[in-house]
Amino acid sequence: MAFPVAESPLLGSTDKRIYWSPVFDEYGLICQPSAEILQIHHCPFCGSRLSESRRDKWFEKLEKEGWKIWGDPIPIELLSHDWK
């Protein structure tokens, strides 16, 4: 069984400035030319509060699946935006 390799789509050049992680439901500003993301909690245009990050819940769920370190396989269902 093959697992997708985690690779940042932001490496190299992009003209995008806003990042959204479908898995974590997290927003950020893209800090070119690195692939760094500055996480934001409010919309930079209108100031609305953005959705709460699901990052902590995601890692909790992943650890319940037996995951320990980077390099361990990540279940495919956790790589989609609608994981539960």
Residues of this chain, 40-59, that bind Zn ion according to CB under 5 A: 43, 45-46, 48
DSSP label of 37: E
State which residue, 34 or 51, has the beta carbon closest to Zn ion.
51
Closest approach, Cβ 41 to Zn ion, in A, equals 12
State which residue, 19 or 58, has the beta carbon closest to Zn ion.
19
Beta strands in 1-84 (DSSP E): 18-21, 26-31, 36-40
Cα–Cα distance, 67 to 78 (Å, whole number) = 12
Closest approach, Cβ 43 to Zn ion, in A, equals 3
Read off the tokens for 78.
């956790």
